[in-house]
């Protein structure tokens, strides 16, 4: 058992042995295995958490130059996930995205970027100075959930420009997965590496009925959040390389040593190691059971007010769309033109103790994971309860919209005028949003969640975006990049 544990969970098991013997710490951290930790936290967390909050003491290895437990754990992770190399990340998928941009694209070089990307990609463009060419998103779910890209457009842009890297998001927040195999083929024909932001698809490797993982489909690099769909602590993630270009892997090493903390807590690193081992051990069985249960349950979850989007019927097969993550449950408003789902989400939390992933303009999104397979009968009953609860809340009028407006989202995108980096360094000042049409934005405006950009710094603001911000603000969405003062919404624009 002991040997198997060391083989399966190399880093976490080594630290367990280390921490079991009590020690005298004449080194950091200041709380010294919890002795000096705040009493309040000890009461609510217990002492144990602090004894594992160590870094770079003799057994904990060094993340930037791993030689022992962390090296073995990362090698094991790469085998499980089908990579040539895997790096453990302690600042989420975000830092993996930044490292890839820094390692593969020099300032001034071009990168093809899925415009429906997470803001981490755009921040990475500011850091790296890469010049983006945006790939317009193609709608795959009726209303509001954009996902894929046209493969023909990827081919066309790669033929026209000297592009150093293609970056796409797959799956997106709603589980829409791209045809990575076809995209990789196009990229490799042009000798351009393909990076997939697979932050939401870490579980794909663990069951054949889930979409293929990006690496399995032929991507060169991918990043996956361990905290989003597997059992890692928040902040944990994996960066993978298929090893096609060993020199680039060395630059990734360097980038990560610049971008990550030199004091990563063993809590994060142990959680990556142990969560991967558990998914490997239990994933096939548990995901299989959960997927089977959901197949029967989905039709029962429809109600007079919501339909559950059924893959593939509820999804538009447009662009490079390939598959859909069946562990995303999307309840789409069936009848109403306008509905306040933000209010419904709040009531679910306040009155029913239910937290959901996202409320959109027409959708409520639930994400399921291995945790929901532990007690399938309970999961089934709770989902039925959920479906009935949201139906009743809407029937009772809680989803009613006070003031309907005439907004129609035509998704006309703002036009690219300058790179996010140039916009970041340009002089700027705030203007009233309704007067900002035609100005160049210095703000990145995202509706949160999912956090995809409505306006990217360096884009010329258009009427469609302004209208959507007012509309979504009126519905109570969180909008970042917009400030409200003097009773008006403001946006930062480039001076002159
Ligand atoms: C598509 C996508 N990519 C990247 C990220 C950033 O991941 P992390 O929070 O692990 O840094 C997110 C976070 O929500 C995301 O949705």
Report the separation in Å between the CA atom of 345 and the middle of ligand 1, taken as the mean of its atom positions.
21
Closest atom, ligand 1, to C-alpha of 197: 3
Residue 227 and residue 85 in one domain = yes
User: What pLDDT shows up at residue 166?
Assistant: 98
Q: In what order do the strands lie in the sheet with 453-455?
A: 453-455, 445-448, 478-480
pLDDT tens per residue across span 372-426: 999 999 999 999 999 999 999 999 999 998 776 666 666 788 999 999 999 999 9
Give the domain-ending residue among 200, 224, 259.
259
Whether residues 218 and 202 share a domain: the answer is yes
pLDDT digits 0-9 by tens, 80-103: 999 999 999 999 999 999 999 999
pLDDT at position 108 is 96
Closest ligand 1 atom to residue 169 Cα is 1
Q: What is the pLDDT of residues 440-472, one digit of tens each?
A: 999 999 987 777 889 999 999 999 999 999 988
Whether residue 127 sits in one domain with residue 224: yes
d(CA 468, CA 452): 14
Give the residues surrounding ligand 1 with Cβ less than 6 Å away.
Answer: 92-94, 118, 120, 169, 173, 197, 199-200, 225, 237, 450-451
Are residue 362 and residue 462 in the same domain, yes or no? Answer: no
Q: Determine the pLDDT at residue 144.
A: 58
1 pLDDT band, cuts 50/70/90, is very low
Atom from ligand 1 closest to the CA of residue 172: 1
Shared-domain flag, residues 42 and 176: no
Q: In angstroms, what is the span from residue 302 Cα to ligand 1's centroid?
A: 30
Verify that 91 and 55 share a domain, yes or no: no
User: Residue 410 domain-assigned?
Assistant: no
pLDDT value at position 141?
Answer: 72
The reported pLDDT for the residue numbered 55 is 87
From 120, 177, 178, 328, give the residue whose CB has the most ligand 1 atoms within 8 Å, as the site to mutate: 120
Q: What is the pLDDT of residues 217-270, one digit of tens each?
A: 999 999 999 999 999 999 999 999 999 999 999 999 999 999 999 999 999 999
* C-alpha 396 to ligand 1 mean position (Å): 35
Say whether both 111 and 245 belong to one domain.
yes
| Ligand 1 centroid – CA 117 distance (Å) | 9
At 410 the pLDDT is 67
pLDDT mean over 317-323:
76
**Whether residues 67 and 35 fall in one domain:** no
Is the bond preceding 137 in cis, omega lying within 30 degrees of 0?
Answer: no
pLDDT of the residue at 142: 67
Question: 7: pLDDT confidence band, cut at 50, 70 and 90?
Answer: confident
Euclidean distance between the first and the last CA atom of the chain, given in angstroms as a whole number: 69
Q: Are 173 and 199 in contact (CB under 8 A)?
A: no
Q: Are 124 and 98 in contact (CB under 8 A)?
A: yes
Residue 109: is its pLDDT beyond 60?
Answer: yes
> Is residue 81 a part of any domain in this protein?
yes
Q: In terms of domains, do 71 and 183 share one? A: yes
Q: Which among 145, 222, 228 is the best mutation to test ligand 1's pocket, defined by most ligand atoms within 8 Å of the CB? A: 228
Residues 73 and 55 in one domain: no
- Alpha-carbon distance of 273 to 275, in angstroms, equals 6
pLDDT value at 143 more than 70: no
On whether both 253 and 321 belong to a single domain, the answer is: no
Q: Which domain holds residue 213?
A: 62-259
Give me the DSSP letters along 306-346: EEE--TTTTS---TTEEEE-TTEEEEEESS-SS--HHHHHH
**CATH for 314:** 3.90.1150.10
Dist CA 106 CA 208 (whole Å): 38
Sign, CA dihedral 437-443-444-445, equals: negative
d(CA 488, CA 74): 50
pTM of the model: 0.95
Residue 453 CA to ligand 1 center (angstroms) comes to 13
237-248 confidence digits (pLDDT tens): 999 999 999 999
Nearest CA to ligand 1 atom 1: 118
For residue 426, report the distance from its CA to the centre of ligand 1, in Å.
27
Instruction: Tell me how many domains the chain contains.
Output: 4
**318 or 101: whose pLDDT is higher?**
101
Distance CA 413, CA 134 (A): 11
Same-domain check for residues 68 and 208: yes
**What SS3 class is residue 196?**
strand
Write the burial class of residue 208 (CB in 10 Å: 0-12 exposed, 13-18 middle, 19+ buried). exposed
Residue 427 placed within a domain: yes
What is the token pair recorded at 362?
A: 């027409």
Residues 6+ apart with CB under 8 A from 490: 430, 431, 432, 433, 482, 483, 484
């Amino acid at each position: 058992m002991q040997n198997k544990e060391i083989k399966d969970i190399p880093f976490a098991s080594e630290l367990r042995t280390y921490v079991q013997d009590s020690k005298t710490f004449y080194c950091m951290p200041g709380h010294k295995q919890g002795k000096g930790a705040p009493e309040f936290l000890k009461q609510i967390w217990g002492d144990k958490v602090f004894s594992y909050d160590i870094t770079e003491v003799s057994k904990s290895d060094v993340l930037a130059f791993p030689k022992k437990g962390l090296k073995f754990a990362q090698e094991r992770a790469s085998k499980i996930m089908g990579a040539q190399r895997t790096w453990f990340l302690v600042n989420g998928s975000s830092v993996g995205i930044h490292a890839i941009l820094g390692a593969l694209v020099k300032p001034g070089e071009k990168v093809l970027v899925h415009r429906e990307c997470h803001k981490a990609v755009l921040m990475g463009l500011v850091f790296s100075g890469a010049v983006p060419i945006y790939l317009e998103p193609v709608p795959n779910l009726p209303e509001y959930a954009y996902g894929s890209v046209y493969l023909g457009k990827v081919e066309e842009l790669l033929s026209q420009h000297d592009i150093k890297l293609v970056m796409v998001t797959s799956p997106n927040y709603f589980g829409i997965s791209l045809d990575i195999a076809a995209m990789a083929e196009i990229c490799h024909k042009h000798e351009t590496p393909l990076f997939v932001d697979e932050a939401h698809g870490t579980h794909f490797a663990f069951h054949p009925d889930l979409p293929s993982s990006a690496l399995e489909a032929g991507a060169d690099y991918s990043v996956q959040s361990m905290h989003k769909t597997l059992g890692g602590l928040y902040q944990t993630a994996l960066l993978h390389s298929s090893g096609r270009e060993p020199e680039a892997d060395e630059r990734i090493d360097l980038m990560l040593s610049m971008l990550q903390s030199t004091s990563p807590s063993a809590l994060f690193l142990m959680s990556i190691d142990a969560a991967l081992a558990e998914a490997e051990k239990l994933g096939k069985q548990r995901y299989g059971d959960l997927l089977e249960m959901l197949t029967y349950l989905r039709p029962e979850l429809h109600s007079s007010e919501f339909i559950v989007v059924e893959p593939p019927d509820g999804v538009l097969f447009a662009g490079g769309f390939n598959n859909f993550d069946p562990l995303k449950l999307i309840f789409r408003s069936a009848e109403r033109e306008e509905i306040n789902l933000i209010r419904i989400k709040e009531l679910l939390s306040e009155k029913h103790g239910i937290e959901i992933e996202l409320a959109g303009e027409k959708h409520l999104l639930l994400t399921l994971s291995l945790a929901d397979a532990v007690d399938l009968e309970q999961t089934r009953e709770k989902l039925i309860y959920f479906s009935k609860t949201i139906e009743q809340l809407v029937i009772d009028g809680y989803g009613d919209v006070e003031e309907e407006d005439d907004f129609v989202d035509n998704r006309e995108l703002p036009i690219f005028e300058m790179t996010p980096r140039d916009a970041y360094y340009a002089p700027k000042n705030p203007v009233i949003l309704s007067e900002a049409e035609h100005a160049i934005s210095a703000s990145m405006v995202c509706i949160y969640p999912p956090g995809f950009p409505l306006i990217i710094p360096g884009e010329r603001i258009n009427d469609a975006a302004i209208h959507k911000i007012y509309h979504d603000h009126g519905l109570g969405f969180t909008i970042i990049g917009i400030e409200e003062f003097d009773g008006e919404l403001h946006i930062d624009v480039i001076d002159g």
